Amino acid sequence: MLSVSMLATFPELVEHALDYGVTGRARERGLWRWRGLGLHEFASDARKSIDARPAAGGPGMVLMPGPLDRALAAATVWHGEVPTVVFLSPDGAPLTQARVRDLAQCSHVCLVAGRYEGIDQRWIDANVDAVVSLGDYVLSGGELAAAVVVDACVRLLPGALGDKESTAFESFADSQGGRLDWPQYALTCCDMALPPGLTGGDHAVIQRWRLKQALARTWRRRPDLLARANLSLVERALIDEIALESKA
């Protein structure tokens, strides 16, 4: 079972978000469990202070080490084991499916959500195993970013999805060479026609059509993924075809 704890100013912000769909069902089935630790509960003064002015001046406030230390200790006691500590921050490494796969294998992940100007760097240096960003933009807090990480991890847990093949045939999957997914079409639909590549019932034709669509989409939208991919001869030939067709 995966245990996920979160140290945050507003843990209640995400608790219900994780009750729905795949994450909710997986929690009911005991595949993972969750503990949100609100930093105010771990403050040491009557005013429940968790932040302080930045050293040497500047705007905003910085989360202090003390409440974070005590909340991390409580998370460790909850699970009975020191967690892998991940700080969500715009200055971290971009979150990737490879990172998600690694985190989903952990026994206890502690997600640390910042607020205000962020977290005291001394605490980060002493406690954080990885700093992870959701992208090149700034959120007001790390709670929603933490929920994204949880959702991405939980759906990879064995038994979380109805069909275990779902995670093998999707964007960024290893088995798909890390490229984007092919476009999906509902079998039952209104009177809009399906692309001809999907209608003949010939498995080989459908496979080739899907592969070409996936490569075309990746080529247009995420050429960086193709540059890193170990492409087969068939895939290279399809990409040449796609490039030629795009010039026509």
* Site track for ligand SAM across 71-110, x = CB under 6 A: -----------------xxxx-------------------
- Among 36, 66, 67, 118, the residue binding ligand SAM under the rule CB under 6 A is 118
Please say whether the beta carbons of 180 and 217 come within 8 A: yes
**Which CB, 123 or 182, lies closer to ligand SAM?**
123
Q: Does 115 bind ligand SAM (CB under 6 A)?
A: yes
Query: Considering only 141-149, 167-175, 189-197, 233-241, which stretch makes contact with ligand SAM by CB under 6 A?
Result: 141-149
- Among 137, 162, 193, 248, the residue binding ligand SAM under the rule CB under 6 A is 137
Q: Does 17 bind ligand SAM (CB under 6 A)?
A: no
Q: Residue 204 to residues 73, 200, 207, 216, 233: CA-CA distances in angstroms?
A: 56, 10, 5, 18, 17
Q: Does 145 bind ligand SAM (CB under 6 A)?
A: yes
- Among 142, 172, 214, 218, the residue binding ligand SAM under the rule CB under 6 A is 142
d(CA 198, CA 78): 51
Reading the block at residue 187, the tokens are: 């079998």
Query: Considering only 135-143, 178-186, 219-227, 233-241, which stretch makes contact with ligand SAM by CB under 6 A?
Result: 135-143
β pairing state of 130-133 and 84-94: parallel
β pairing state of 108-113 and 2-8: parallel
User: Which residue has the CB atom at the shortest distance from ligand SAM?
Assistant: 114
d(CA 241, CA 161): 35
What is the CA angle 26-29-32, rounded to 5?
55
# chain residues binding ligand SAM, by CB under 6 A: 19
Q: How far apart are the first and last CA of the chain?
A: 53
Please say whether the beta carbons of 148 and 134 come within 8 A: yes
- Among 26, 39, 71, 113, the residue binding ligand SAM under the rule CB under 6 A is 113
Could you list the residues that contact ligand SAM (CB under 6 A)?
A: 88-91, 113-115, 117-118, 133-135, 137-142, 145
